[in-house]
Amino acid sequence: MSVNEERRKKRKPSKECGKWEDSRVVSGIFQATIMATGQLFSPTTQALFYNYKQLPIQRMLDFDFLCGRETPSVAGIINPGAEGFQKLFFGQEEIAIPVHSTIEAACAAHPTADVFINFASYRSAAASSLAALKQPTIRVIAIIAEGVPEADTKQLIAYARANNKVVIGPATVGGIQAGAFKIGDTAGTIDNIIHCKLYRPGSVGFVSKSGGMSNELYNTIARVTDGIYEGIAIGGDVFPGSTLSDHVLRFNNIPKVKMMVVLGELGGRDEYSLVEALKQGKINKPVVAWVSGTCASLFKSEVQFGHAGAKSGGEMESAQAKNQALRDAGAVVPTSYEAFETAIKETFEKLVEEGKITPVKEVTPPQIPEDLNTAIKSGKVRAPTHIISTISDDRGEEPCYAGVPMSSIVERGFGVGDVISLLWFKRSLPRYCTQFIEICIMLCADHGPCVSGAHNTIVTARAGKDLVSSLVSGLLTIGPRFGGAIDDAARYFKDAYDRGLSPYEFVEGMKKKGIRVPGIGHRIKRGDNRDKRVELLQRFAHTHFPSVKYMEYAVQVETYTLSKANNLVLNVDGAIGSLFLDLLAGSGMFTQPEIDEIVEIGYLNGLFVLARSIGLIGHTFDQKRLKQPLYRHPWEDVLYTK
């Protein structure tokens, strides 16, 4: 059984990450003890993460698992204005990390979390950092943002020092205690962490201004020593929250740190505080140091390097002067950066020979489960998709409807009918077809407030319900008795025509089955008072359609039914159903199986649903605009009977 498996069996986690069992007690005495020993972090350190970023947090949790931690290092997330949980992985287990809307709420909920990792932008980093520093539970703050105003940084530094707290940054990647805790993206990917042996503690304390160069030095130190115990990147701004010497002095008080490696850079005078500490005998462990930027002397004018603070303001701030001062103070300073690795190696080997270092035994870190998306991209696994879509694609620079880019739809002057043809039928239909679709939508948009769908919407709107609820109330009324007969009309007319039935055979056959003929009959309209909408549709079809065989058949059926009763006229459902059959068959763009499928799965009723939604929304707005009260049906309109 691996170390991780044993620890997972012992712990009793709640699914809410912020509630993992932890016996630590945060107190002034505890903090003072930590500072006296120089220790910032431990295998039980937990942090609050400000301004949610998925990747840095997941990397922290993966590092936790790699090190065999029993508890996740991220206790909670602070996202101003948001609350809830964020799902992440702790090894193979999915956990929910609490999200809090304020720093105060997060600190109250997680009193054992004493590190504040601030991923806010430079605009708000200072204010949020100061708010965190004022919390009694917060002891260490890491400020990732670059460009924090210098005046704000000075205020943070003063407050932190007055209250025995530590600021790392601004403009930092963070820090790491090997085998225990890491801040955000420190040390990069898991592969790099494993390569640099950061999953277990070594004997070297490392501090640098540069986060990028920290990764390089972690690698270098792992090659020639037993690895890092703790590494800190103080940040490249002019006024870092903590200095190189602050951390070297800390390392000097940590028994497990046997030597220190320092990487400075030209600009500023931070390195001279380290020089003074060496001269005063405050440091009794070997220090291997190098100040980068020696090439600046080759330029005729002053050079600004990558960091805000990497700019020489005089001879004393040059890399050469700093290197010489460190060398004179007793640090091991090589002649060039290329010789830095050798100097580290020789210092380490000397300590081993003197018996001051017993090299750490190597351990095999656990395998971090690979994310599914990563594994799929690398071709290691394959996974089925859960949804199939053939009508639209939003993966490119702009959405496409049936392969037609959105910009092309607008530039070519497409209308609603064209969009429906792309999304419903997956092809661009001729203009007369899309015009017919648009006419159907306009004619069916509304039929007054008295029809059942509109009535239900009005009653719901007057009950104070929202737009969607009112709309759905009306839409749910659509069915065989209200607006849902277009598909059935098309289905029965098509079947009768294709089988060669006469109107008499068709109608009487339906009668024997006890089925009313869909698309025939109206409550108000009569043979001598035809539905104007039907006449408009028929006129358009006669003018533009190549063939109207199904419509003509429907008219023949109407002639027969009118001989039985004057209200058995062809209604708008029947007109749309029969004419849509003519559109599908006459356009030459659909096969017979496709036409059968369109009729079968409800395309035509979709037209009525889409159209009537316009009217139902209108009725909702109308009632709300009129501020109509709750509707109650009058007693006199109800027949009360036993």
Closest residue by Cα to residue 227 from 354, 66, 357, 355? 357
H/E element, 271: helix 270-279
H/E element, 9: helix 3-10
Active site residues: 307
Alpha-carbon distance 109 to 631, whole Å? 48
Cβ atoms of 150 and 110 within 8 Å: the answer is no
193 three-state secondary structure: helix
Amino acid at 97: I
Q: How many CB atoms lie within 10 A of CB 270?
A: 22
C-alpha to C-alpha distances, 183 to 29, 57, 252, 379, nearest whole angstrom: 24, 9, 22, 31
Handedness of CA 528, 531, 534, 538 (dihedral sign): positive
Edge-to-edge strand order for the sheet containing 400-401? Answer: 392-393, 400-401, 404-405
3-state secondary structure 118-145: ECCCCCCHHHHHHHHHCCCCCCEEEECC
C-alpha to C-alpha distances, 270 to 169, 275, 290, 364, 598, nearest whole angstrom: 14, 9, 13, 39, 77
Q: What is the DSSP letter of 302?
A: -
Q: How many CB atoms lie within 10 A of CB 35?
A: 16
H/E element, 107: helix 103-109
Tokens read off for 371:
């994310």
Sequence-ordered list of residues with C-beta below 8 angstroms from that of 594, at least 6 positions apart, any chain: 584
